[in-house]
Amino acid sequence: MNPTKKPRNPKPFPWLLVAIGLLVLGAAAAVGWNWYQKRYPSWYEEVRLSDGRVITIHQKREHYENYGTAQSWVTIDLPELGGKQVWHSYLMPQRVDVVNGKVYVFGIPRGDRQLSYYKYPKYFMVGFVWQGAAFERIPFLTLPIQIREAENIFPCLPNDIGIRNRKLTILQKDSAWCKRRNDSGASSRLIDIQEYKALADKWAAIPRWEDKFRSE
C-alpha cells in the first residue's frame, strides 16, 4: 500500500510584495501630482468689475519654471455670457470686465513665442470681446478706456508674491499685486500705455518685425 501523502502547505500570500508595490504606486502618484500642480497651477480669484460687482473666476496656467506662462484658461461665470465660459489664450490674463453689456478680456504675452503668435502687438497687450459664441480679438485701443487703465486679475502666479491660498480674495489683492512687466521690480496694477508700447517696440526690434506687419 502506498503511504498516505501529506497535504502540501499552501504558499503564504506575498503581503510584503503587495505592500511594497502599493508604496511605489503611492510615491509615483504623489510625484505625478506634484509635477502636474507645478506645470498646471490653478486657483480661484475674486474679481471686482467696473460696475461694482464682485465675481469669482478660476485661473489655470501652463507654466514652465524656466520660462513662465505659456498659455492660460480663465473660467468666467456671468449672465452676459449666458453662464460659464472659458477664455483660453497664450497670454498672462490681466483683466475681465463688462461695459454696456459687453464682456471684455485682455492679457499680455510672456515671451517671444507668444509675441510671435499674436504678431508682436503694438501695445503689447491683446484684447478680446465676447461675441455670443466665442471671444474674438479686437484692436487693444478699441477696448473701453476705463478698463484699459488697470488690471483686475492676477497676471502672475500667486506663489510669485508669496500667496499660497487656493482662493484669492479682494482684500488680499488690494494689499499685494504682481510685479510690472518693465522689470523695474515694482508692483502695480496700473497700466501705462506708453510704457507698454515702448516695451513692445523693444521686443519687436529684436526679430526686426516691421510696424506694418504688427497687430494692433
The per-residue pLDDT for range 49-71, each reduced to its tens digit, is 999 999 999 999 999 988 889 99
Q: How confident is the model at residue 179 (pLDDT cuts 50, 70, 90)?
A: confident
Average pLDDT over the chain reads 88
**Is 54 inside a domain boundary?**
yes
Q: pLDDT confidence of 35, banded at 50, 70, 90?
A: low
Tell me, yes or no, whether 205 lies in a domain.
Answer: yes
Mean pLDDT of 21-29: 63
Domain for residue 23, yes or no?
no
Structural domains counted in the chain: 1
pTM over 0.75: yes
162-176 pLDDT per residue, tens: 888 889 999 999 999
* Residues 77-98: tens digit of each pLDDT: 999 999 999 999 999 999 999 9
Long-range contact set of residues 24-28: C-beta below 8 Å, sequence gap at least 24:
none
Least confident of 100-114, 177-191, 192-206: 177-191
Whole-angstrom distance, CA of residue 56 vs CA of residue 76:
8
In a domain, 114, yes or no: yes
The reply to whether 11 falls in a domain is no
Give 215 or 35, the one with higher predicted confidence: 215
Mean pLDDT confidence for 133-156: 96
Q: What is the domain range of residue 135?
A: 38-213
Kindly report the number of other CB atoms within 10 A of residue 123's CB atom: 23
pLDDT score at 41: 96
Specify if 73 maps to a domain. Answer: yes
Q: What is the pLDDT of residue 12?
A: 74
